[in-house]
Amino acid sequence: MNQYPLWRYVLLITLIVFAVIYALPNLYGEDPSVQISPKESTTLDATLIGQLETALKQQQIPYLSMKQSPGFVTVRFSDTEAQLKAQDIIQATLGNKYSVALNLASRTPKWLLAIGARPMKLGLDLRGGIHFLLDVDTDALVQLQESGDIHTMGVDLRNAQIRYQSITQPDKTHVTIEFRNLQDRDQAQILLQKNFPNYLFITNNLALSATFSPSALTQIQQNAIEQITTILRTRINELGVAEPVVQQQGVNHISVDLPGIQDMARAKDIIGKVATIRLQLQDVEHNAETAAQTGVIPAGTKLYFYQGQPILLKNQVILHGTSIINAVSTIGDDGRPTVQVRVSGSEASAFNQITAANVGRSIAAVYIETQTTKKLENGKVVTTHIPVEKVINLAIINSALGNNFQITGLESMAYAKELALLLRSGAYPVPVDFIQERVVGPSLGKENIHMGVLSTEIGSLLVIAFMVVYYRFFGLIADLALILNILFIIAILSLLGATLTLPGIAGIVLTVGIAVDANVLVNERIREELRNAMSPQASIHAGYGRAFATIVDANVTTLIVAMVLFAVGSGLVQGFAVTLTIGILCSMVTAIFFTRAVVNLIYGRRKIKQLPIGITVKST
């Protein structure tokens, strides 16, 4: 009785070793740091370190260390204040060729990093930063897509010589086509269903009513969210945040966490900014070379450079980026990389006419974005915003362009992908709204960590002390299990790369309370059996056996609640739910499996008269 096979001990020790190793990085902590990497080339200037050293010394900003790695330089600081100041100074010194990002550099030794052990990520409330929640108006996108398709549906019907009376969009989500007779209507239904598999066509007297099928609708929404997420990431890069968290929340929300930065106005400026795309015709009546040399730009045109060559573009914009609703890179009919562009909205028909009149001429895609630059003036950092226009593609018009057209003969697939992304990123495909914002100062973050850790320590110490006083040696075993439980939670959170927040810490604290419950149940049961004059060995056996079902039942209900919290809660509440869930699962292992193993190791295979569990039972 009360013996465990060897493999259980081996398993237990393996688990403990793993937990210790993966929880270890959290002890080392992190340094606020600035990471400098070149934007375009991949080689670092050899004089970079020297430049940085002089700049920081001149401004009297103390730093801990400066280290060059392949592709980037990391400068560590002792506090966030110095880090923020240094970021501005470094950006101003190096100019826009380098991206200068705020980061937390781990002090974890290399051998731990090599086996994938990393410290837990800290949430915004623990390290300061900015949080946004963006709302994406996906209905607007559906409407936009449909108004584009209306045009094509009409063209298809006319080409098939099916007569219809009208095509309208009575509300945001429906398209209605009216016919003169049932025969036309039925023919149209067959044709349209084949050409537009994304739609559901329902007959209604002489009319056909079309809506997006649920799966197509989800697809559209998902594409929009993904596209916006991609755009957001590229824009955030410019903000200089090393570890932004951009993720979808719910159906149409995107949550953005920017740890480390404080400047809300600038963050909103960059995230909310509209980089735009314009299509313009090339001016071939004037000589671009002469214009570039003399500086005399013909009226109604503007001088640009494309692949190093000067070109003149007519000022008239024939298509704005907002009309481009999709652009994807594919392999064209000629086997060369191609970008397929979809256009919608009021500009589409004018675009069709203008391109029809200019077949054989060239059309340019111009990308306009606002760049933020920093300069040092009299020791102060001055920020300026300049719109930068760039020709990203020049193509010859082969035929009149409609709602769908292709840019063919591109040099590489990578370029096609890049072009498609830029065409799409001209603007967010749908209106995006800031519905939640949060700025946490770095000092508050530090204070929150301090308070969280302190309350965990005090809470745990109180429980540990009380358990020993009440259950003596068995209490001590339960205490070991409790410490092991916290270790397991930290190891798992680190391993999962989960973000620790203040409510997450609360979840850990609460788990401490719940985890001892299992041992209280077991120990009380053992005491009861002892009072019933059972032998110590039998009492241990019965105590663990009987308490097991109760412990499982009790924990399952708390788990159910934690799952509900996770499913319906938002960011912070989810952090709490995650640690609570992990805590409960770990406590089952530590409070039952671990304590039993220790008890068996000590009391198994031998005769005992008294169990040190805090009560004395007179033998009968």
Footprint of other proteins on 402-441 (CB under 8 A): 433-441
Residues ≥6 apart with Cβ < 8 Å to 10: none
3-state secondary structure 34-88: EEEEECCCCCCCCCHHHHHHHHHHHCCCCCCEEEEECCEEEEECCCHHHHHHHHH
Q: How far is the CB of 451 from other proteins (least distance, A)?
A: 4
* 443 near other proteins (CB under 8 A): yes
CA distance linking residue 598 with residue 474, whole number of Å = 10
Among 224, 562, 582, 611, binds other proteins (CB under 8 A): 562
| SS3 state of residue 579 | helix
Q: How far is the CB of 225 from other proteins (least distance, A)?
A: 17
Beta bridge partners of 104: 32
Judged by beta carbon, residue 14 or residue 165, the one nearer other proteins is 14
Judged by beta carbon, residue 156 or residue 528, the one nearer other proteins is 528
Site for other proteins in 304-323 (CB under 8 A): none
Q: How far is the CB of 195 from other proteins (least distance, A)?
A: 38
Strands (E) located in 117-273: 121-122, 129-136, 166-168, 175-178, 199-204, 207-212, 245-249, 253-259
- The contact mask relative to other proteins for 582-601 (x = CB under 8 A, - = no) is ----------xx--x-----
Q: How far is the CB of 411 from other proteins (least distance, A)?
A: 44
Number of C-alpha atoms within 13 angstroms, CB side, residue 124?
A: 21
Judged by beta carbon, residue 337 or residue 452, the one nearer other proteins is 452
Q: How far is the CB of 59 from other proteins (least distance, A)?
A: 23
Q: How far is the CB of 547 from other proteins (least distance, A)?
A: 9
CA distance linking residue 297 with residue 289, whole number of Å = 11
Site for other proteins in 245-274 (CB under 8 A): 264-265, 268
Judged by beta carbon, residue 4 or residue 415, the one nearer other proteins is 4
Site for other proteins in 601-620 (CB under 8 A): 614-615
- The piece of 114-122, 309-317, 488-496, 571-579 that touches other proteins (CB under 8 A) is 571-579
Sign of CA dihedral 289, 292, 294, 298: positive
Beta bridge partners of 394: 364
Q: Phi first, then psi: what are they for 613, rounded to 5°? A: -120, 15
CA distance linking residue 126 with residue 444, whole number of Å = 8
Count of CB atoms situated within 10 Å of the CB of 579: 27
CA distances from 2 to 333, 475, 594 (A): 75, 19, 13
- The piece of 184-192, 235-243, 330-338, 576-584 that touches other proteins (CB under 8 A) is 576-584
Among 13, 27, 359, 561, binds other proteins (CB under 8 A): 561
Q: How far is the CB of 60 from other proteins (least distance, A)?
A: 23
- C-alpha triplet 524, 525, 531: angle, nearest 5°: 90
CA distance linking residue 451 with residue 461, whole number of Å = 15
Judged by beta carbon, residue 147 or residue 455, the one nearer other proteins is 455
Judged by beta carbon, residue 305 or residue 466, the one nearer other proteins is 466
Strands (E) located in 378-443: 380-396, 404-407, 432-440
Q: How far is the CB of 516 from other proteins (least distance, A)?
A: 5
Judged by beta carbon, residue 393 or residue 600, the one nearer other proteins is 600
CA distance linking residue 345 with residue 323, whole number of Å = 6
Site for other proteins in 361-400 (CB under 8 A): none
Judged by beta carbon, residue 393 or residue 574, the one nearer other proteins is 574
Q: How far is the CB of 16 from other proteins (least distance, A)?
A: 17
Among 202, 496, 533, 564, binds other proteins (CB under 8 A): 564
3-state secondary structure 429-440: CCCEEEEEEEEE
Q: How far is the CB of 24 from other proteins (least distance, A)?
A: 25
* Closest C-alpha among 434, 374, 125, 389 to residue 240: 374
Site for other proteins in 498-557 (CB under 8 A): 502-503, 506, 509-510, 512-514, 516-517, 520-521, 524, 527-528, 531, 541-542, 544-546, 548-550, 553-557
- The piece of 15-23, 84-92, 201-209, 570-578 that touches other proteins (CB under 8 A) is 570-578
Count of positions on this chain that bind other proteins (CB under 8 A): 82
Spell out a b/e string for 362-387, using b for 16 or more CB atoms within 10 Å of the CB, else e. bbbbbbebeebebebeeeebeeeeee
Q: How far is the CB of 469 from other proteins (least distance, A)?
A: 6
Judged by beta carbon, residue 8 or residue 320, the one nearer other proteins is 8
Judged by beta carbon, residue 396 or residue 588, the one nearer other proteins is 588
CA distance linking residue 32 with residue 74, whole number of Å = 10
- The piece of 53-61, 91-99, 220-228, 461-469 that touches other proteins (CB under 8 A) is 461-469
Residues ≥6 apart with Cβ < 8 Å to 192: 153, 156, 157, 177, 199, 201, 208, 210
Site for other proteins in 67-126 (CB under 8 A): 125
In the chain, the amino acid numbered 471 is Y
Among 38, 310, 459, 612, binds other proteins (CB under 8 A): 459
Judged by beta carbon, residue 312 or residue 597, the one nearer other proteins is 597
Judged by beta carbon, residue 160 or residue 454, the one nearer other proteins is 454
CA distance linking residue 178 with residue 172, whole number of Å = 18
CA distances from 70 to 7, 83, 99, 607 (A): 45, 22, 15, 65
Beta bridge partners of 178: 166, 207
Site for other proteins in 126-185 (CB under 8 A): 133, 135
For the record, the structure tokens of 584 come out as 């409960």
Judged by beta carbon, residue 140 or residue 392, the one nearer other proteins is 140
Site for other proteins in 464-483 (CB under 8 A): 466-467, 469-470
Q: How far is the CB of 526 from other proteins (least distance, A)?
A: 12
Judged by beta carbon, residue 28 or residue 466, the one nearer other proteins is 466
Beta bridge partners of 305: 310
- The piece of 163-171, 180-188, 384-392, 568-576 that touches other proteins (CB under 8 A) is 568-576
Judged by beta carbon, residue 243 or residue 528, the one nearer other proteins is 528
